[in-house]
Amino acid sequence: MSKNWIEEAISKKYIKYYNYKDFFNSEVIGSGGFGKVYRANWKNSRNILALKSFRDSTNKNIVEELKIQCEVHFHDNIIKFYGITEVNDYGSKKYYMLVMEYADSGTLQNYLEKNIANLNWDKKFKMANQLACAVSCLHDMNITHRDLRSSNVLVHQNNIKLKVDVPKLSKKYDVIPYIDPTKFFADLHSLDKKSDVYSIGVLLWEISSCRSPFKDVSNQYRLQNQILQGLRETPMPSTPKDYEQIYTDCWKPEPDDRPTIQNVVSRLEEIMVKRNITTKHVWAPPINNLSRNNLSQGFNNNIYNKIKVEPLKSPSKAPQASFYKQKSKKEIVDGIAALADNIYDENKKQRILDYIKDHHTTSKEIFDWLLNNQNGINPNIVLGDFHYLGIATMVDKRKAFDYYVQAALEESSIAQYTLGILCENDEKDTFQAMYWFDKCAKQGNQDAINHYYRLKSSKNKTFNPANLHSVMGKMNLGNEEERKGFSLQDFKLPFV
């Protein structure tokens, strides 16, 4: 069953398959109870990826890991999963390896030690906020990390990249400072969201001090008892009081007295606003003269998925000031569409408004241009965004839905993914959600894969005929005879 699951996912292009022969300059960069991690160049390029092997390479364990990776593959500060490769170990047993995003600066623990002289408070606040946002994203998906420590947090281009794996019980004593003391003697799976918050508190202290917690304590058994009795690390003298209060609240003895991770994020953002610190979101400019439905599938299509950074592109390819020179309305609309945030992202509206402002125009001018230029994928996506978020017009979610449908029928993976989200949450129609996630998954969107399989396994599926009628209308099924001959089966909805 497990092997069939992997093969099916690869054959349907739900998971990108990489030929192992295309990797070279392989080098071990980490190891643990799971197996080893290698860095390697891919094809004839300077692009570097990480390859994760498994000590226990049974398909069941790999499937478990794949499901975790597909579940969390959507946040800039979480290590991205790109696909899978199969290794033939000198003609003997074949085994799979995961192809992952590579982090150039190693673990947070090592990064802090090496850069202690270069990290001012603004940089520390940014890293703390990125880490908290990544964990908040997991908690919003009802996922508990259960293994938050600085050796499980990576850094790439000075940005946090959280590793999310299948949690395993570690026997190393250096993890004790990060573990919720109320769970010292409990089962691994008893660790919950408040346990994650405790670990975040320790990590926020570690970011502030640039040193590992209780680094000089040799007797770990005694340390464990002292932590149970209330021992915590000492705040650094220069620590801003509002930041110190956040992490001391996180490591309170009673879980119910600790804040939620969302509260931690909110308080960190308040500090950043006071200090006028901004977090820049990486944006990839639209590809000119290349339609979305003609884009190659796989990770190179990620510019049009939720992921904001095209994998394997050098950071130097990120937009510089020259991208903000005067552009046509069409180019600006293309740029807005390429932002590709989740429609439920609370910062999406502001990100669009900021983008418009950066290009020296107004949302009203863009909206007026859109009304006169509705042909094509990007105008329909942006019109959908404007109507859903209430930009330059009143909120009209039904109109937004119709615009997204028009773009989705032209094979826009962004619109298909958005419709999947809206059908499940706004319309309470899991069958239609599965249809759109399935369409999007076939274009290589890893987030859609996760949602499709999650809904497929759900026992509580719902159907809203109004959504089908809306799509039928967009397909120009004009006369009654055509409509009579059209049914759910034409959509090939995945009922099982």
What are the percentages of helix, strand and coil residues in the chain, rounded to 5?
50, 10, 40
Alpha carbon distance 218, 212 (integer Å):
13
SS3 at position 18? strand
Binding site, annotated residues for ATP: 52
pLDDT for position 192? 92
Alpha carbon distance 329, 129 (integer Å):
34
Alpha carbon distance 360, 327 (integer Å):
9
- 45: part of which helix (H) or strand (E)? none
Residue 57's contacts (CB-CB under 8 Å, 6 or more residues apart) are 35, 93, 95, 96
Helix 193-209 and helix 241-250, axial crossing angle in degrees, nearest 10: 140
Q: What predicted TM-score, i.e. pTM, was given to this entire model?
A: 0.57
Binding site, annotated residues: 52
Alpha carbon distance 433, 441 (integer Å):
12
Strand locations in 373-467, DSSP E?
none
pLDDT for position 244? 96
- Longest Cα–Cα distance of the chain, Å, equals 81
Alpha carbon distance 250, 463 (integer Å):
42
CB 207 within 8 A of CB 120: no
Q: Which residues of 321-348 are buried (b: 16+ CB within 10 A; e: fewer)?
A: eeeeeebebeebbbbbbbbbbbbeeeeb
User: Which class would CATH give 108-274?
Assistant: mainly alpha
Closest listed residue to residue 305, CA positions, set 339, 332, 343, 331: 339
End-to-end Cα, the chain, rounded Å: 16
Closest listed residue to residue 370, CA positions, set 354, 386, 390, 352: 386
Neighbouring CB atoms inside 10 A of 461's CB total 15
Query: 2-101, what's its fold?
Result: Phosphorylase Kinase; domain 1 (3.30.200)
The β-bridge relationship of strands 17-18 and 81-88 is parallel
Q: 444's torsion region: left (phi>0), alpha (psi -120 to 50) or beta?
A: left
Q: Angle at CA 150, nearest 5°, toward 180 and 75?
A: 95
pLDDT for position 424? 87
Question: Quick one: tokens of 95?
Answer: 């085994």
Domain ranges of the chain: 2-101, 108-274, 292-491
Give the phi and the psi of residue 192 in degrees, each rounded to 5: -125, -170
pLDDT for position 414? 86
Closest listed residue to residue 6, CA positions, set 71, 75, 86: 86
pLDDT values of the chain reduced to their tens digit, one per residue, 496 residues: 455 677 887 888 878 899 999 998 888 888 766 678 999 999 866 788 999 987 655 556 677 777 777 777 668 899 998 999 988 765 567 788 899 999 999 999 999 999 988 899 999 999 999 999 999 989 888 889 999 999 999 999 999 999 988 765 454 556 899 999 998 877 666 789 999 999 999 999 999 999 999 988 888 888 989 999 999 999 998 899 999 999 999 999 999 999 999 999 999 999 988 887 766 433 232 323 322 232 233 333 332 233 222 333 333 333 333 333 457 899 889 888 876 567 877 778 888 998 888 778 899 999 999 999 988 999 999 999 999 999 999 999 999 999 999 999 998 888 998 999 998 888 778 888 888 988 888 876 767 787 888 888 876 666 555 554 444 444 443 444 433 443 434 444 433 3
Report DSSP state, residue 314: -
Q: Which CATH number fits domain 292-491: 1.10.287.3510, 2.60.40.10, 3.40.50.300, 1.25.40.10?
A: 1.25.40.10
